[in-house]
Structure 1
Amino acid sequence: MNMKQISEHVFQCEFELDVTVDIRIPVHIWLIRNGEDVYIIDTGIECFSDDLIKAVLSIGTPKAILLTHGHNDHIKGAAKLIEKFNIPIYAHQKELIYINGEAPYPKKNDLENTGVANVVEPLKEQTLAHLPIQYYLTPGHSPGHVVYYHEKDQILLSGDLFITSHEDLHPPIRKFSDINENIDSGAIIDKIKPTLICSSHGKNLPYDDRLYKKYVWNYRD
């Protein structure tokens, strides 16, 4: 794991996920420090948990887990963190039927075994009311996918809304996504205008007002 501070209050933990023998993809988990409190954005998979626990404790006291969505590479580490820290975990209401194993995600046949069925609480405005963080519903990759925006630091934690390179926005894996809905959700960046866009599986990308226009041109059907 590599942890780096990307703004005054936001830390990024980078892990690698072995997809095949020859292919590894980065997985980003973010820690938001608010005074002595730490909020964990996504959890990765279970084998990341020990290093993530150390990272969290190195900067403060864990208070909650906030999920962008419930796919395995974002939620499977949650059970171990909850056992260790005894903290609440939140996701958008629209994700809960999938997280709880009540229905398979769209375009998937199997139910999720998240390890935290019936534990995750619905994310509400009051959940973050005491923090300089906003969440926005951005469906497409999953029905209840959200992004988190740290207003003071102007950092957008975009989850799987995009895969980012050093220069451009790219869509997530098509086989699991409603790509046109996902691309429409991406318009949030022109509403927010963050300083930096941080995706779960890409490079940290400075915002400019040409990014989304180019993205739509390249990828929308």
Structure 2
Amino acid sequence: MQENRYLQQLANLNPIASVHEVLPDLVMLRTAIANVCLVGEPGRADWVLVDAGVHFFGGRIAETAEELFRRPPQAIVLTHGHFDHVGSLQELIERWDVPVYAHELELPYLTGQDNYVEPDPTVGGGLMARMSFLYPNEGIDLGDRVQALPADHSVPGMPGWQWVHTPGHTVGHVSLFREQDRALIAGDAFITTRQESALAVILQELDVHGPPAYFTPDWAAAWDSVQRLAALKPQYAVTGHGLPLAGAQLQQGLEKLAREFDTLAIPKHGRYVQ
């Protein structure tokens, strides 16, 4: 992983919108507390945006895309529809007029039919968790702009990538995996910072953690999903929160999380802890 000169200049403009080149065709942009991915080789190929970050970052995402690709994406793919992953989505689809894809089980939350469960501020872990009662849990209504990901697990506009159903954090959560180089876009199935802690979020402390506890209602499914991703033995990973991770640190951390999820990730108490 590296940051080329241009990406470093972008990062220096705004520390809460830092840019990281994970692979030549996989760039991560941090939008305050959540990450988005731009997938495609800059200047040479069509590309896809994965997730849409928090509110008020549509301009920054579009600016980064313009500098890298000089064209709109073929599509926007969502790992899930929580507020910090779709915050700038409406602005972006109005700007670009491109289709949006998500797992079929996520569609009710993206078409105005249902809301997510309420966040759980009782899980502990820090200020971000205690403040979670303020985080919106309402779904959004994209109408016919959003459609289900293909049943064959391919990802539109991302040849070589496959979507993997990784529920737990939400029922329709997906991660994206490319076998060729074992690159993984994990969404919030696991993350690389302790998102419950404001200090850890600010410092971007790097480690493998379970999904954000205050917004995870099904811990048994979340554990199964982490085990499924660990079995893929990813070499590179971008997660929904935290810095990119690669190599032995990623694999060993993910294997440990999959093995000890009950003690490392599941809160000792909480609204959704059984």
**What is the TM-score when the length of structure 1 is the normalising length?**
0.85
In the TM superposition, what whole-angstrom CA distance separates every residue of 1:37-95 from its partner, at most 9, and x where no partner exists? 11000001330000100111222231110000111111121111111111111000001
- In structure 2, the CA distance between the partners of 1:184 and 1:5, relative to structure 1 (3 Å rule), is same
1:38 aligns with 2:47: yes
1:46 match: secondary structure: coil
- Structure 1 residues 128-139: aligned runs within 5 Å: 128=156, 131-139=159-167
1:194 aligns with 2:234: yes
RMSD of aligned residue pairs (Cα, Å): 2.3
1:49 aligns with 2:58: yes
Counterpart-to-counterpart distance in 2, 1:10 and 1:130: 11
Write 1 or 2 for the structure with the bigger share of strand. Answer: 1
Identity %: 27
- In structure 2, the CA distance between the partners of 1:178 and 1:107, relative to structure 1 (3 Å rule), is farther
1:44 match: secondary structure: coil
2:180 corresponds to: 152
1:23 corresponds to: none
Counterpart-to-counterpart distance in 2, 1:187 and 1:93: 22
Q: Is the 8 A contact 1:41 1:68 kept in 2?
A: yes
| Letter paired with 2:23 | S
- In structure 2, the CA distance between the partners of 1:8 and 1:98, relative to structure 1 (3 Å rule), is same
In the TM superposition, what whole-angstrom CA distance separates every residue of 1:134-183 from its partner, at most 9, and x where no partner exists? 11011111110000113334221111111224233233224542122111
Q: Which runs of 5+ in 2 are unaligned?
A: 1-16, 120-135, 194-205, 267-273
- In structure 2, the CA distance between the partners of 1:49 and 1:146, relative to structure 1 (3 Å rule), is same
1:89 corresponds to: 100
**What is the TM-score when the length of structure 2 is the normalising length?**
0.69
- Structure 1 residues 1-221: aligned runs within 5 Å: 1-16=17-32, 26-34=33-41, 35-60=44-69, 61=71, 62-107=73-118, 112-124=138-150, 125=152, 126-128=154-156, 131-165=159-193, 166-206=206-246, 207-209=250-252, 210-211=255-256, 212-219=258-265
